[in-house]
């Protein structure tokens, strides 16, 4: 190589080195900030190729939602019962500068601090409830209050808490049988009380129905007696009018009815005087019996 070409090659090498240390790329799934001696001097880079000073450092973060699972975490209830809880949380970087200042851009540090906040929230929610309340409640109700408090607390980390879900709630094996037996006894007592209340309500309903039935029958009987009385009065009036128009025929008809009811029955014995009014129409069917 000639002496004239050597400086050119050196200059080209320096230029290539400067270019390699001054250019950086950002992917669609990444967030990036540019720092100089630990201070943030650039942010908000979109996907593509970007320029920086060789002394600057580029820190990149995952922009997609991250998921962390936790199994076998133990929490104490209000009645001092241990619970084994499995849960997971989903989060993502929301504020890159705040995230860098709080965690140095290290995902494991952010995950540990976020997990501590979420666990503290679950601990607070579990400690306010008894074991029975937690077992019978919806899982969303257990984590709902905690999620709001945790979401506000993690904003200082520059992250957004997307979701926290309880996957499993279990008891230690040494107390599970005793707890379930106690819960069965409590539910049996509740069932007995509800049955007693139901039986009492049924008796009240039957008594009320019987009273209403008695009242309805009494009213119906009273109305029937009134109708019969009105009918008898009308019949009596009709008979009276008929009797006043044809007294002899009415007397004859009534005598025939009396004969039909009194005579001709086996074993009957009548003791009457022959001259009495009863045999008036048997002696002479003519008017007056004379």
**What is the DSSP annotation of 19-63?**
HHHHEEEE-TTEEEEEEETTEEEE----SEEEE--TT-EEEEEE-
Instruction: Report the alpha-carbon distance of residue 63 to residue 44 in Å, rounded.
Output: 12
pLDDT value at residue 278: 64
Least Cα distance to 68 among 103, 112, 123, 101 occurs for: 112
pLDDT value at residue 225: 92
pLDDT digits (tens, 9 = 90+) for 7-47: 666 667 666 666 667 888 889 888 898 998 888 888 888 88
For tokens 């540090």, the residue is 109
pLDDT value at residue 289: 44
User: Which whole-number Å values give the CA distances from 242 to 17, 127, 237, 287, in the listed order?
Assistant: 143, 98, 9, 17
> In 36-169, which residue ranges form alpha helices assigned H by DSSP?
96-103, 107-127, 131-136, 139-153
pLDDT digits (tens, 9 = 90+) for 256-288: 777 777 666 666 666 666 666 666 666 665 544
Q: Which has more confidence, 259 or 116?
A: 116
Q: Which has more confidence, 255 or 212?
A: 212
């Amino acid at each position: 190589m000639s002496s004239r070409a050597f400086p050119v090659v050196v200059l080209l090498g320096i230029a290539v080195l400067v270019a390699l240390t001054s250019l950086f790329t950002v992917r669609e799934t990444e967030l990036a900030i540019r720092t100089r001696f630990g201070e943030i001097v650039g942010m908000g880079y979109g996907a593509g190729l970007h320029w920086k000073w060789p002394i600057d450092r580029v820190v990149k973060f995952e922009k997609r939602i991250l998921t962390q699972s936790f199994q076998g975490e133990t929490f104490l209830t209000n009645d001092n019962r241990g619970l084994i809880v499995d849960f997971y949380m989903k989060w993502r970087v929301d504020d890159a500068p705040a995230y860098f200042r709080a965690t140095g851009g290290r995902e494991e540090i952010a995950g540990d601090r976020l997990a501590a906040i979420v666990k503290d929230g679950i601990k607070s929610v579990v400690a306010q409830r008894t074991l029975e309340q937690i077992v019978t409640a919806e899982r969303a109700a257990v984590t709902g209050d905690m999620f709001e408090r945790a979401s506000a607390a993690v904003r200082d980390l520059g992250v957004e808490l997307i979701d926290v879900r309880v996957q499993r709630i279990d008891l230690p094996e040494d107390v599970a049988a005793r707890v379930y037996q106690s819960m069965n006894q409590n539910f049996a007592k509740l069932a007995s009380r509800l049955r007693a209340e139901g039986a009492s309500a049924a008796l009240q309903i039957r008594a009320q129905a019987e009273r209403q039935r008695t009242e309805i029958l009494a009213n119906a009987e009273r109305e029937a007696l009134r109708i019969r009385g009105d009918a008898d009065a009308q019949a009596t009036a009709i008979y009276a009018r008929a009797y006043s128009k044809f007294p002899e025929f009415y007397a004859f008809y009534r005598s025939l009815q009396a004969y039909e009811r009194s005579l001709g029955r086996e074993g009957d014995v009548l003791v009457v005087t022959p001259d009495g009014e009863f045999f008036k129409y048997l002696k002479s069917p003519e008017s007056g019996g004379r």
